[in-house]
Amino acid sequence: MTDVVIAAYRRSPFQPAHKGALTRLRPDEMAAQVVRALVDETGIDPATIEDVVLGCAFPEGEQGLNAAKLVAFIAGLPEGVAGATVNRFCGSSMQAVHQAAGAIHLGAGEAFLCCGVESMSRVPMMGFNPMPHPGLAARYPQAYVSMGETAENVARLHQVGRAEQEAFALSSHRKAAAAQREGRLEAEIVPVEVGGQRVAQDGCIRADASPEGLAALKPAFRQDGTVTAGTASPLTDGAVALLVCSGDYARTHGLAPLARVRSIAVAGCGPEVMGMGPVGATRKALARAGITARELDVVELNEAFASQAIACLRELGLDEAKVNLDGGAIALGHPLGATGARITGKAAQLLRREGGRYALATQCIGGGQGIATVLEAP
Partner 1 sequence: MDPIRRVGVIGAGVMGAGIAAQVANAGIPVVLLDIVPGAAEAAVARMLKTEPAPFMHRAAARLVACGDLDRDLALLAECDWICEAIVEQAEAKRALYARLQPVRRPGAILSSNTSTIPLAALTEGMAAEAAAQFLVTHFFNPPRYMRLLELVQGPATRPEVAARIADFADRGLGKTVIACRDRPGFIANRIGGHWLQSAVNHAVDLGLTVEEADAVMGRPFGIPKTGVFGLLDLVGLDLMPHVAASMKAALPADDPYVRAMREHPVILGMIAEGRTGRKGKGGFYARERGPGGERLKRTVDLATGRYRDSEKPVLESLALRDLRALAGHPDRGGRYARAVLLDLLGYAAALVPEVAEGIADVDAAMRLGYNWRYGPFELIDRLGAGWLRAALAAAGRPVPPLLERVGEGGFYRVEAGRLEAFGLDGAYHPVPRPEGVLLLADIKRRSTPLARNGSASLWEIGEGVACLEFHSKMNALDPGTLEMLGTSVAMGRKGAFRALVIHTEGEQFSVGANLGLALFAANIAAWGEIEGLIEQGQKAMRALRDAPFPVVGAPSGMALGGGCEILLHCDAVQAHAESYIGLVEAGVGLIPGWGGCTGLLRRWAEDPRAPQGPMPPVAKAFEAISTAQVAKSAFEAREMRLLRPTDGITFNRDRVLAEAKARALALAEGYAPPPAPAPLHLPGASGRVALGLAVRQQAALGRATPHDLVVCDHLAETLTGGGRDPVDAVTEAELHALERRNFMALLRLPATLARVEHMLETGRPLRN
Query: Considering the complex, what minimum distance in angstroms separates the CB of residue 66 from partner 1?
Result: 18
The verdict on 321 binding partner 1 (CB under 8 A) reads no
- Sketch the per residue contact string, 203 through 232, with partner 1: x for CB under 8 A, - otherwise: ----------------xxxxx-x-------
The verdict on 65 binding partner 1 (CB under 8 A) reads no
Of residues 56, 114, 245, 364, which has the active-site annotation? Answer: 364
- Residue whose CB is less far from partner 1, 134 or 196: 134
- Residue whose CB is less far from partner 1, 147 or 338: 147
Query: Considering the complex, what minimum distance in angstroms separates the CB of residue 140 from partner 1?
Result: 12
Q: Select from 48, 84, 148, 156 the one that contacts partner 1 (CB under 8 A).
A: 148
Q: Select from 107, 134, 183, 254 the one that contacts partner 1 (CB under 8 A).
A: 134
Count the site residues for partner 1 by CB under 8 A.
20
- Residue whose CB is less far from partner 1, 139 or 196: 139
Residue 334 a catalytic site member = yes
Residue 115 a catalytic site member = no
The verdict on 130 binding partner 1 (CB under 8 A) reads yes
Residue 364 a catalytic site member = yes
Rounded CA separation 370/279 (Å): 7
Which listed range, 43-51, 145-153, 256-264, 274-282, lies at the site for partner 1 (CB under 8 A)? 145-153
The verdict on 128 binding partner 1 (CB under 8 A) reads yes
Q: Select from 2, 61, 66, 268 the one that contacts partner 1 (CB under 8 A).
A: 61
Q: Which residues are catalytic?
A: 90, 334, 364
| Chain contacts with partner 1 (rule: CB under 8 A) | 61, 126, 128-134, 137, 144, 146, 148-149, 219-223, 225
